[in-house]
Amino acid sequence: MSVKYVEVKLNPNKTIERELDACAGVLMAPEEIRAEEDVVVIDGVGTVPYKGPSVLPTSYEGAKVLHRGGRWYVSFYVQPRVRPLPKTGKSVGVDFGVRNLVYTSEGRFVRPNGDLVRLDKLIKKQLNELDSKHTDSTRYRETLRRIERNQERMRDIQIDTANKIAKSLTENYDLLCLEAVDVKGKGIQHDPLYKQASERQNWRLLIDVIKLRAYETGREVMMVPPFFTSQECGECGGYCPKPLDARTHLCRRCGFRTTRDRNAAMVIRRRGIAIRNGSRRTDWRPKGHPQWVDQD
């Protein structure tokens, strides 16, 4: 399991900033960087005051000095602690999308944060403004600093949203079946709408946070192939083709009707349970598809 990051904000003076810049982004061993009361001691830099958790980790695998949005941070790499939650006996499928950030097989959903859309548009506007400014000018540096601050705000919102979603899922379900979104896949990279949503909503961060939270709480996560999840009926498993702009699922075989996203989440849940039970299926075309192959 990947490590957990505990991040604190540093308050260095101008002299120390030059020293921090030399070690920024370098993974340092615990003996090279240590946390004491109100300060972080870094070899070759000295003591730097910080703001953050009142109690810093006493044991960690390493740490990095980071510079983001004109601010300095130290990120400690900590091994997550496992504290299992009581069993619920329930499982859930989770679909990731553009109209809804997440949609579960039980019909619960989370809309994309409107502040992310606003900040994303603002950053693009500021990036266009940079083209009309000289790189050595004060206005150029100030605009660049504003862009970095807005990017930092976007990341804070993404992390906060991911933590809330992960907390809700792990408290209510034992098995989390997640859509295995390939954010670098050709399908997303060649679709401007999905590529923009993937970067703005940060699906990869969301999945990583859910996995980490599940590990800490003793929950099980199954990553499910996303192929044909919208073209398969979540009730009967039959082939139910529909255009991309169709937001309602109506199965011609069994008559099951629901939203497109919930149907996909139901398919993801069924597939996740099958994979956990040992299914070796590799072709996920639904029954009735012209190229369907019986692998059961």
Banded pLDDT at 62 (limits 50, 70, 90): confident
| Enclosing H/E stretch for 35 | strand 33-36
- Please say if the pLDDT value at position 32 is more than 80: yes
β-bridge mates for residue 209, sequence order: none
Contact in structure between 104 and 265 (CB atoms under 8 Å)? yes
State pLDDT tens for residues 198-246. 778 888 899 999 999 999 999 999 999 988 998 999 999 899 988 888 8
User: Cα dist. 179→111, 160, 221 in Å?
Assistant: 17, 21, 11
Q: pTM for the complete prediction?
A: 0.84
Dihedral sign computed on CA atoms, order 136, 141, 142, 147: positive
Banded pLDDT at 141 (limits 50, 70, 90): confident
Contact in structure between 212 and 81 (CB atoms under 8 Å)? no
The residue among 135 and 225 whose pLDDT is bigger is 225
Banded pLDDT at 170 (limits 50, 70, 90): very high
- Please say if the pLDDT value at position 51 is more than 80: no
State pLDDT tens for residues 84-119. 999 999 999 999 988 889 999 999 999 988 899 899
Q: What is the pLDDT of residue 296?
A: 59
How far is the C-alpha of 128 from the C-alpha of 239, rounded, in Å?
46
> Can you tell me whether residue 8 is helix, strand or coil?
strand
Q: Quote the Cα angle for 72-53-151, to 5°.
A: 40
The count of other CB atoms within 10 Å of the CB of residue 274 is 16
How far is the C-alpha of 48 from the C-alpha of 280, rounded, in Å?
53
